[in-house]
Amino acid sequence: MPGPVVVDIEGTQLSGAERRRLRHPLVGMVILFARNYASPDQLCALTAEIHELRSPPLLIAVDHEGGRVQRFRQPPFTRIAPMTRLGALWDVDVLRACRTALAIGYVLAAELRAHGVDLSFAPVLDLDWGRSGVIGDRALHRDPRVVALLAAQLMHGMSLAGMGNCGKHFPGHGWPAADSHTAVPIDDRGRAELLAVDVAPYRWLGVALAGVMPAHVIYPQVDDRPAGFSSRWIKGVLRRQLGFTGAVFSDDLSMEGASVAGGIVARGQAALDAGCDFILACNDPASAEVLLASIRWRRTATFERRRARVVPRGPAVPMADLLRDATYLAAREEAIALNTTVPASA
């Protein structure tokens, strides 16, 4: 049975060492990056081999939000505009923005599933405070109400293609300027302000959220640990106060924002103990091996229920069939139009 560790692979096909690693009982998911894509046929072959390694199959995920965080960009994948354009469109045409968001969610998920990818870590629920370079145009809007409503449409579109979702980065990564990939961001705002504004989309989206990824950000007014290692945030706010029942994914444990928790094993254990269901160990195969050899974890029925929330539903539609499907083609046209419909500065 799959476990809680999410690992990556180095190239466009599996090595012998990677096949052995993916068969480890603690591995439960594989995350792909741009380096893992060479062509549609190659990606389909790679995902098929990963799925065939285990029963039930390992899940395959990717960061595929649109804009600068879209791992697969070459045709037949549709180039998705940065999410800030949806917010700009909302400001001039609310109904069209909702329709476009739904179309983007469907196209994004249908294309990924057609190539064997089960989950995209999307949508971004961070607010566009105009302060964070790493978030920047990945954010939908500054108004949490708009973020929640557009995200709901994106998630509905993903669901139409049988894909779950993962809102990120809880409770919010839009305020601190530092990039958690290379630094330890700190958000000094108080708990009440965070809950009223940045956390609001998570509360409003409710059961529609299948997954949540906490931020490698420290909110010292709440806890001196980053949210991804904080039981106050995950068990206290997210689970008890907001009633979230889906899967919680740590952000990549190799990021600098995670360094305050110690080495790779200490980071992974801290994330699990804080309430994460899955922990990501990327871009360092040696560290992933150390983590798998040392982590303490016990399978529970709760873990299985939460994992089931992000398992794809129904069969995927092959890409050749999508390209003959009127619904997909109309949605793709709508998604493509966003690249030119609203100026980025609107």
Q: Would you please indicate which residues are annotated as catalytic (active-site) residues?
A: 181, 251
Strands 247-252 and 278-281, bridge-based pairing: parallel
**SS3 label, residue 258:** helix
List, in order, residues 6 or more apart from 15 with CB less than 8 Å away: 9
* Cα separation, 326 vs 88, whole angstroms: 28
* Cα separation, 187 vs 199, whole angstroms: 13
Instruction: Return the number of other C-beta atoms located less than 10 Å from residue 273's C-beta.
Output: 13
**SS3 label, residue 65:** strand
In this structure, are residues 282 and 7 in contact, taking their beta carbons and an 8 Å threshold? Answer: yes
- Residue closest to 120 by CA, chosen among 167, 68, 67: 167
N-term to C-term CA, the chain? 49
Strands 119-120 and 69-70, bridge-based pairing: unpaired
96 phi, psi to nearest 5 deg: -65, -35
* Cα separation, 223 vs 180, whole angstroms: 17
* Cα separation, 45 vs 51, whole angstroms: 10
DSSP string across 148-192: HHHHHHHHHHHHHTT----EEEET-SSS--S-TTTS--B----HH
CA atoms within a 13 Å half-sphere pointing along the CA-CB vector of 278: 33
